[in-house]
Structure 1
Amino acid sequence: MTGATQEDSFTEHYWRDPHAALAGTRETCPVREVDFEGGRTWLVTRYDDVRAGLADERLAKDWRSSLPAEERASAPPGLPAPMSHMLTSLDPPEHTRLRSLVTQAFTARRIATLRPRVESVAEELLADLPEDEPIDLVARYAIVLPMVVISELLGVPEIDRDEFARLSTVLIDECPEPELERASTQMATYLEGLVAAKRAAPDDALLSALISASDEGDRLSDLEIVAMAMLLLMAGHETTAVFITNSVRALVADDSARERLARPESVPSLIEELLRWLSPALNASLRFATEDLEIGGVTIPRGASVTLSTGAANRDPARFGDPEVLDPDRNTAGHLAFGYGIHRCLGAALVRLEGEVGLAALFNRFPRLRVVADPADLTYRRSVHVHAPRTLPVVLGPRAGG
């Protein structure tokens, strides 16, 4: 079949409750064309279709791959540099080369050694928070924790971190094109200077490791290093902040799940279920059909953009029983919170670590934390990529043992 198109798209209903909106799409028209960031895209929502799409070589990240061979060389990239040089914008063989070099620096061992520092940062932040007056948990904790961690990991000076947090939000959220371009240019310009400084005076941070990474003489260019640093600052900070914020809301409403945070052996399974249930990145970045292809019985024409919804896939009842229920005892194997295939999230281990440490530290210190805002009064970020309230007013309550 060619597939019916739908004129409705990412509307106010989606901004407030994307899981409900995506569930409706999955049930009624699981592969359909919708309005998306000023254009059109084919939205794919069933688990089997999304997982297959994430690994399908015919769905390219660089839109130029969908052009006839004679037109590709002269076509401009879909995004300005350095964003066009990010891993999320590249296909093999460029992607293969870049990921291989980056993996040498961004290792599991490097992430594992961060646990004591993440614990220390969480405790420092919580120690400064008042117990008995409303605070915005987003601004005071959920954003700050991952920004401090990713900045220290990369080697970004403390004085610049608030500005990085602001710029990364602009780059993730829906905003006018001129504002997006300004934010991208500002972040890139700063990182270019930082890379030059690290090249002149290397340290133990990740940027220096990226500069020194090589494979048989091949090295990352400064543009590629800046692109990777920008991606890590955006994705590493934003997805974790969103994950912590939404997890707090879920755990406040679920005593049984929240109590697992006091038992270290129970925390990893809780985190995996929260990742499935919340899907910090609701939709994978755009892909482009390099030929006519069929997804879920629908023909996608060559050159069309495709959005694979990991959020919808992770709540597909055909894959997970009672998917709307938060169940830390379920088998979450195969969830797509970090994608699948060659573009699987490079920072998955870091998100897991910050989620485990950040949530356990918060609720173990403040077991009676409560949200003091009516859900109807919350305003949400307008982003097709992430979903979270802009602010989350809470009262932490007395500290444990107090």
Structure 2
Amino acid sequence: MIGDVDVPVIPLAQSPVCAADPYPGLARLRELAPMVRVQTTFMGEVWLVTRYDLARELLADLRFSRRRPDDSPVAAVDSDPPDHTRIRRLVGKAFTRNRVERLRTWVQGLVDGMLDEIAGAGPVDLLDRFAYPLPIAVICEMLGAAETDRADVRRRTEKILAGEVAENREEVYDRTKEYIVDLIAAKRRQPGDDLMSALIAARDGDSTLTEPELIELGIALIAAGYATTTNLIGNGIHALLTNPGQLALLHAQPDLIDSAVEEFLRYESSFSAAGQIAKEDVDVEGIVVRAGEVVLISFCGANRDPARFEHPDRLDITRSPNPHLAFSHGIHHCLGAPLARMEAQVAIGTLVRRFPHATLAGPTRWRENIMRGLLELPVDLKGRGLE
């Protein structure tokens, strides 16, 4: 039955959406109601979903859209069908698993070089020296950008990790767009064996990607490829260093790295939540979501739901199955998931193999925004810790 019910509204100060430690608050809200109204700094008042089964259902519900009414009219990967279907098909022809796997050996060499540079140092911030530069180097290589462009790409995009502050989004968008426009022009003049050249050449019958669509995709690939993977690597390393038994297990059984990465994705998702906008009035378990209202799917909440995951607050790198929602679900499942997984497997697996006694070398702080990641990650690779 569609009808209004009494739903609690949680003020911003009590909302766990972007808290440094959101999990106790999310657990309380999960018990309170299927959805609650919460105040956010970046979307105003929204519906918040913390249950796994409901989150998975709504992520696949085509009565909701990923796009705000004021978003660019250019079709992109967050569009609705039929534009979404056409673009995903074209991107899928270029962004293949084989293309990602061909980079694995190159990524291994890059990781080895980065770790060589810091191996003899004292305590080092692994975010700044490892988790930041690695994904930037990889996405630049994949897009066919010059090695000398990496510092420029980082400068243009680093505010992505500041979250959903409007001025940050606009600045990152404008600065990244300038770079992508120039890169597309260069690849049109001189195509290569890279993702941007493949996107320019991708065809599906008479359908190709338009210039505005190529620009939007390039921006999305850099933004998603950088921010989410930086957080995945940083969060994964932090999870191991704060769970020494799991670190020892991974060192003893390095073949657990694939399973470990899936657990890092579940345990500390790189995005804390994703918004879905109702295209019509929708009845969600007796609660009416009006057309235009936002439903915020909490990945942190869903991935710690005890109804789906046994001992959800425990890091378990042997967890199987592990159907986390860190890469979303449904038609908007992350295209870059294979790339993020591969980078994390190589980066964290190599770090553990080379520095099995690494310890935290100082306090860490979590970003309090939609991006679930650390502000710093001081580590003593030789294991002296906080002495």
Q: Same fold (TM over 0.5)?
A: yes
CA gap of 1:10–1:139, structure 2 versus 1, over 3 A, is: farther
* Equivalent of residue 393 in structure 1, options 378, 381, 385: 378
Q: 1:292 to 1:210 in 2, by over 3 A?
A: same
Of 16, 20, 35 in structure 2, the residue corresponding to residue 16 of structure 1 is 20
Structure 1's 10 and 163: CA in aligned 2 closer, same or farther, altered over 3 A?
Answer: farther
Whole-angstrom CA distance in 1 between matches of 2:311 and 2:171: 44
1:222 to 211, 218, 225: 211
Equivalent in the alignment of 2:38: 34
Give the alignment of 1:116-265 within 5 angstroms: 116-174=105-163, 176-258=165-247, 259-265=249-255
**Cα offset for 1:9?**
3.0
Q: 1:383 aligns with which of 360, 363, 369?
A: 369
- Percent identity between matched residues is 35
Give the 3 Å change call, closer, same or farther, for CA 161–302 of structure 1 in structure 2: same
Is 1:276–1:335's contact at 8 Å kept on the other side of the alignment?
yes
Task: List runs of 5+ in structure 1 lacking aligned partners.
Answer: 65-77
Q: Which residue of 2 aligns with 1:112?
A: 101
Question: In the aligned structure 1, how far is the partner of 2:348 from the partner of 2:51?
Answer: 30
Q: How does 1:311-330 map to 2 (within 5 A)?
A: 311-330=300-319
Q: Is the 8 A contact 2:15 2:38 kept in 1?
A: no
1:79 is aligned to: 71
Give the structure 2 partner of residue 53 of structure 1. Answer: 58
Asked whether the equivalents of residues 242 and 280 of structure 1 are also in contact (C-alpha less than 8 Å), the reply is yes
Residue identity opposite 2:54 in structure 1: D
The whole-number CA distance in structure 2 between the counterparts of 1:162 and 1:383 is 25
Distance in 1, matches of 2:119 and 2:296, equals 42
Structure 2 gap ranges (5+): none
Structure 1 contact 3–32 (Cα < 8 Å) conserved: no
Distance 1:244 1:27, change over 3 A: same
Q: What number of residue pairs does the alignment pair up? A: 378
- The aligned residue for residue 68 of structure 1 is none
Supply the distance in 1 between the matched residues of 2:23 and 2:338 (Cα, whole angstroms): 25
- Structure 2 counterpart of 1:272: 262
Quote the offset at 1:162 in angstroms: 2.5
> Residue 24 of structure 1: CA displacement?
2.5
Once residues 222 and 349 of structure 1 are traced to their aligned partners in structure 2, the CA distance between those partners, rounded to angstroms, is 26
**Are the aligned partners of 2:281 and 2:290 in contact in 1 as well (CA < 8 Å)?**
yes
Check whether the contact 1:54–1:340 (CA below 8 A) recurs between aligned residues: yes
1:112-135 Cα offsets, whole Å, 9 max, x none, are 111101111100000000435121
> Relative to structure 1, is the Cα distance of residues 86 and 23 closer, same or farther in structure 2, using a 3 angstrom cutoff?
farther
Relative distance call for 1:163 and 1:380 in structure 2 (3 A) is farther
TM-score (norm 2): 0.91
Q: CA deviation at 1:179?
A: 4.1
Task: Name the residue aligned to 1:74.
Answer: none
Whole-angstrom distance in 2 between the partners of 1:38 and 1:260: 40
State how far apart, in whole Å, the 2-side matches of 1:236 and 1:262 are.
30
Shift of 1:3: 4.1
Quickly say closer, same or farther: Cα 1:28–1:141, change in 2 above 3 A.
same
